[in-house]
Structure 1
Amino acid sequence: MFLKALTILLIPILLIQGRKVKKNTLRLPEPEGLREGITGRGKPLSILIVGDSAAAGVGVLQQNDALLGCLLKELSTEFKIEWKLHAKTGNTTSQVMYSLDDLNDNHYDVVVTSIGVNDVTKFMSADIWMNKQVKLYEKIKEKFSPNLMIATGVPPMQKFPALPNPLAWLFGLYAQQMNHQLEGFVLKQQNMEWIKYDLEKYRSLNLTMAEDGFHPSKEVYKIWAQEIAYKIHNGINKSPELNHHYGV
């Protein structure tokens, strides 16, 4: 209730700042490159990535440097990977969920999600957002029967260079509440892993964001992919079912 009241109170300045951000922020395209294929050698592994512009790789020019490409580099020497990217700039949780209807029901060993920024910009409450997230993951289970789901948290938007205060500060509060609920949900699930979008960690490694001040850079995508690869290996090692599936 406090956050909703605060948002209403700040509406006049938020409208002004929102228009300026929309007008002045550099709009980067989604990177070029294939969005599905088979790569690598070794044990079979199928991966589906779904989400918004960050999942799609906005911030770099080629998919090879985006989350997808960086993840394939991390895993392709050990696994023969059947992969698919299903992500689009501007997608909210609801849009991602409905867009899954465009995909055939098909098993994927791993499903990676990155969704939330566009729900924050609509000032969606964490409770409503979490209800949508639960429905999304139920649909993912139903359509793709994944052995492992990896959820990436909402970025700390208060630290986005492209956003002025108090807009950035308020977005950060929304993102923080969403992450609190999503992390709690993930930690209670079997065969599900959580990744925090840790912008402070990236900065401590002298990594910058993309030139628009809103999306990951090539270097951030690389670290993010390394974290996902670690979760995949960890999921294989700790799960008897996955151990059997991958022949470990």
Structure 2
Amino acid sequence: MTDVFAKVALGPLLLAQGLYTRWVTPRLPEAEGPRQGGHADANGPALRLLILGDSAAAGVGAGTQDEAMAGRLVAGLAGDFQLSWQLRAQSGLDSRQLFQLLADGPAEPFDVALVSIGVNDVTSTIAAAEWQARISRLIEFLSDRFEARHIVFLPVPPMHLFPALPQPLRWYLGLRARRFNSLLVELLDGLEHCTLLATRFQPAASLMAGDGFHPSPVLYQILADEAAQVIRQRCGR
């Protein structure tokens, strides 16, 4: 069953479950702390890092940025690079809104961009093919305006395993998430300067925040460790 057919067949139930889930799910804040900084005490090469995207990039599920994706990744790279970094992220962003956030902000050169986007597209009505086209435009924008030499994407998470979602909404969103990931793999496969993290995880209670929807600091560490490994390989360390 495709997601389009499922939406037609189960539309009223999915809509009701979506509204109910939004109503009862706790709304966690973005992680507190600085969104830019530098570490120049290492002996390695200079590295300009941009972290961007949705609530996962903004650190929802962690108390501070040190415990979130940005802080974990910066800590993992600081010993190998003369690092300068910046976080541009906002909870609730979809791919169109992320593009606009970047377009409205200053254009600065970065060596590496780490992107977390897709969950809010999955929960919207956008077609998977249109999402793929938006990501293609985002890659071009990051490469041209921000001079990003390497772009690393977090995969769309396995939403069919999110404990906060009831069935069949969980199944339906998981179906869409897998479809979005397939198109992301297809898009990035021919782009040498782009990498999709291969992280595969089961959203057990220890890995998820209290809302059952966002990563916990434990999961942020897992994602950051893999991203740091990819960046070291890409940037020669």
Distance across 2 between alignment mates of 1:77 and 1:191:
24
Partners of 2:224 and 2:37 lie apart in 1 by 18
Match for residue 46 of structure 2? 44
SS at match of 1:162: coil
SS at match of 2:124: coil
Identical counterparts, % of pairs = 37
Q: Distance in 2 between matches of 1:197 and 1:52?
A: 18
Give, in whole Å, the separation in 2 of the partners of 1:154 and 1:197. 10
| 1:59-98 alignment, distance < 5 Å | 59-98=61-100
In the other structure, the counterpart of 2:187 is 185
- Following superposition, the deviation at residue 197 of structure 1 comes to 4.6
How many angstroms does 1:180 deviate by?
A: 0.5
Give the deviation of 1:60 after TM superposition: 0.7
Matches within 5 A, 1:142-181: 142-181=144-183
| Structure 2: tracts of 5 or more residues without a match | none
Alpha-carbon deviation of 1:147?
A: 1.6
Deviation at 1:41, TM superposition (A): 2.2
SS of the equivalent of 1:220 reads helix
Number of residue pairs aligned between Structure 1 and Structure 2: 235
* 1:137 aligned onto 2:136: no
Residue 40 of structure 1 and its aligned partner are, at CA, apart by 4.6
SS in 1 for 2:220: helix
Q: What TM-score do the two structures reach when normalised by structure 2?
A: 0.95
Residues 208 and 216, structure 2, Cα contact 8 Å, conserved in 1: yes
For residue 124 of structure 1, report the CA deviation from its aligned partner: 2.2
Q: Is the 8 A contact 1:71 1:226 kept in 2?
A: yes
Determine the C-alpha separation between the residues in 2 that align with 1:136 and 1:199. Answer: 26
**Shift, 1:207, TM fit:** 3.9
Letter aligned with residue 76 of structure 1: A
8 Å contact kept, 1:51–1:88: yes
In structure 1, distance between residues paired with 2:102 and 2:56: 17
Distance in 1, Cα, partners of 2:84 & 2:49 = 6
Structure 2 distance, partners of 1:140, 1:186, is: 14
Matches within 5 A, 1:1-12: 2-12=2-12
Q: Are residues 1:109 and 2:111 paired?
A: yes
Alignment-mate amino acid for residue 231 of structure 2: I
Gaps of at least 5 residues in structure 1 are 238-247
Q: Which runs of 4+ in 1 moved over 3 A?
A: none
1:208: how far off? 2.1
Distance 2:28 2:61 in 1: 6
Contact 1:156/1:172 (8 A) holds in 2: yes
Which residue matches 1:236?
A: 235
Match in the other structure for 1:219:
218
Contact 1:31 1:57 in 2 (8 A): yes
Partners of 2:70 and 2:139 in 1: CA distance: 20
On the 8 A contact 1:21/1:163 being kept in 2, the answer is: yes
Within 1, Cα distance between the matches of 2:226 and 2:195? Answer: 11
2:128 aligned partner, one-letter code: A
